[in-house]
Structure 1
Amino acid sequence: MTDYLALNRASWDERAPAHAASPDYRVAQLIADPALLSEVVRFDLPRLGDLTGVRGVHLQCHIGTDTLSLARLGATMTGLDLSGASLAEARRIAAAAQTPIEYVEADVYRAVEVLGAGGFDLVFTGIGALCWLPSVTRWAETVAALLRPGGRLFLREGHPALWAVDETRPDGLLVLDLPYFETDRPLVWNEDGTYVDTEVSFTHNLTHAWNHGIGEIFTALTGVGMQVTMLVEHESVPWNALPGRMAKGDDGEWRLTERPERFPLSYTLQAVRLS
């Protein structure tokens, strides 16, 4: 089997500096304004609640803009990512923002090994993370092991229905042509671009990804002793996921320009470890 971690790490390592330099991540503004939050975290403020004194870990944290935002809300944060280049950017941003955040390099499935078990009040996972993991069950096991009893998972993700859409169709129809459910074999992508505004050319373009249905995520979490306490589906996402068919709102979120109520684009899920 091809080493998916090596392929995906090389892709993220190469793209991290371009992401940090792109206006889409608003790094300069986040550093300059200590009250500013990332758009992803700001979107879920009513659902996140008070984070004062919370010990949190952000899995698949990338360059750490969401991690920094959670710290600004009062949490003591750790960020974990498989990409050393991403963490270099995250550490630079945190230092410039004068915010103490611990960053650890490891893939998600090694999180308990490198961070320890049962030490966190909050596990946070943001947009575009779960698709890089081959097993949502192993992910749920990791989340539950990281949390203390009563601790919670907070997840904002692209909807698996969105990940199943063929976004290249010239007719503009929303057609589910890719797997909605988790499969043994990965989706293999060879794409020379990225999801932010940049003129950088990339060479590490081969990646492996997997989709995970809502039911599979729910079942994986309940199967490891967690109770899902919130599941909200949204008609928006924080990036232009379907070019030519979306418009950006004042809140920074992208929605379908025609009948946005017909299709879920993202969701927010919260689950609590019971014991």
Structure 2
Amino acid sequence: MTDYRTVNRANWDERAPAHAASPDYGLHRFRTDPAYLSEVVRFDRPRLGDLTGLRTVHLQCHIGTDTLSLHRLGARVTGLDFSGASLAEARALADGTGAAIDYVEADVYDAGRVLDAGSFDLVYTGVGALCWLPDIRRWAQVVTALLRPGGRLHLREQHPVLWALDDNRTDGLLAVEYPYFERAEPNVWDEPGTYVETDSEFQHTVSHEWNHGLGEVVGALLAAGCEVTALVEHDSVPWQALPGLMVSDGRGEWRLRDRPWRLPLTYTLQARKRG
């Protein structure tokens, strides 16, 4: 089987310039407004607390908008991603805004080897990251290895219930079609576009993804030496995940138009490494 990292890296490398140019990521806002924060970080700002001086690593940072937002909240941030093209855009954004951010190119499973293990106050992971990883237990072990004793994880992620839904239905029904639980074999997608507004056409259209049940994520962190300190499920997601069924709130979040209380769309999880 083709290595999933090769396939997925080609997909992200090709999309990184299109994402940086898209109005949906709002890089011009970061460059013109020194107080501007990404909508994802802004959503969880009350839960993030005071980040002043915290040594922080943003895993799977992509083009660095959340990374820069954490820096603007006072964190000392390192961003890590396996896509060199994504990191080129992230570095250009940091340089253009005068932000002192270190970026490291590596697979997330190698983070404990290429970064200073046991030295971080905060590990941050944003929406749409975990689906690219085949083994949630290895991820949890990486998180724990990076944190100092008492250091914490902040994760906001798409809910595994949403990942399991068929998003191509035209009858308005919410139907479970794909695995909720982690499986050895990936879901293999062949999709010509991307999740932001762009006129770009892509050659690398295949991706390999995995779902991870909420209990699997929590259990992996507990087994790796963390204690869960907060878990909140949300009825919103920061993109139109179910086309035609959702409405924007005007602040970067989308909810079901019809009875949004039926479905969890994202969750925020916080955990602390046992001392």
Residue 132 of structure 1 is matched in structure 2 by 132
Residue 153, structure 1, aligned to residue 156, structure 2: no
Residue 58 of structure 2 is matched in structure 1 by 58
Q: Give, in whole Å, the separation in 1 of the partners of 2:190 and 2:13.
A: 16
Residue 170, structure 1, aligned to residue 170, structure 2: yes
Q: Give, in whole Å, the separation in 2 of the partners of 1:30 and 1:205.
A: 29
Shift of 1:119: 1.1
Residue by residue over 1:146-177, the C-alpha shift from the partner in whole angstroms, topping out at 9 and shown as x without a partner, is 00000000000000000000000111211111
Which amino acid is 1:11 matched to? Answer: N
Q: Give, in whole Å, the separation in 2 of the partners of 1:252 and 1:189.
A: 26
Q: Give, in whole Å, the separation in 2 of the partners of 1:58 and 1:95.
A: 18
Shift of 1:2: 1.8
Which amino acid is 2:257 matched to? Answer: T
Residue 34, structure 1, aligned to residue 34, structure 2: yes
Taking structure 2 as the reference length, the TM-score comes to 0.99
Residue 233 of structure 2 is matched in structure 1 by 233
Q: Give, in whole Å, the separation in 2 of the partners of 1:250 and 1:165.
A: 24
Residue 253 of structure 1 is matched in structure 2 by 253
Alignment of 1:210-229 (within 5 A): 210-229=210-229
> Is the partner of 1:223 in helix, strand or coil?
helix
State the number of aligned residues.
Answer: 275
Residue by residue over 1:81-138, the C-alpha shift from the partner in whole angstroms, topping out at 9 and shown as x without a partner, is 0000000000000000100000000010000111021010000000000000000000
Q: Give, in whole Å, the separation in 1 of the partners of 2:130 and 2:69.
A: 20
Q: Give, in whole Å, the separation in 1 of the partners of 2:114 and 2:225.
A: 22
Gap regions ≥5 residues in structure 1: none
Taking structure 1 as the reference length, the TM-score comes to 0.99
> Is the partner of 1:23 in helix, strand or coil?
coil
Gap regions ≥5 residues in structure 2: none
Q: Give, in whole Å, the separation in 1 of the partners of 2:225 and 2:206.
A: 36
Residue 180, structure 1, aligned to residue 176, structure 2: no
> Is the partner of 2:220 in helix, strand or coil?
helix
Q: Give, in whole Å, the separation in 2 of the partners of 1:274 and 1:191.
A: 42
Shift of 1:33: 0.6
Moved more, 163-172 or 132-141: 163-172
Q: Give, in whole Å, the separation in 2 of the partners of 1:195 and 1:250.
A: 17
Moved more, 62-71 or 168-177: 168-177
Residue 80, structure 1, aligned to residue 80, structure 2: yes
Q: Give, in whole Å, the separation in 2 of the partners of 1:105 and 1:210.
A: 22
Shift of 1:250: 2.6
> Is the partner of 2:63 in helix, strand or coil?
coil
Residue 194 of structure 2 is matched in structure 1 by 194
Residue 116 of structure 2 is matched in structure 1 by 116
Shift of 1:251: 2.1
Q: Give, in whole Å, the separation in 2 of the partners of 1:245 and 1:224.
A: 38
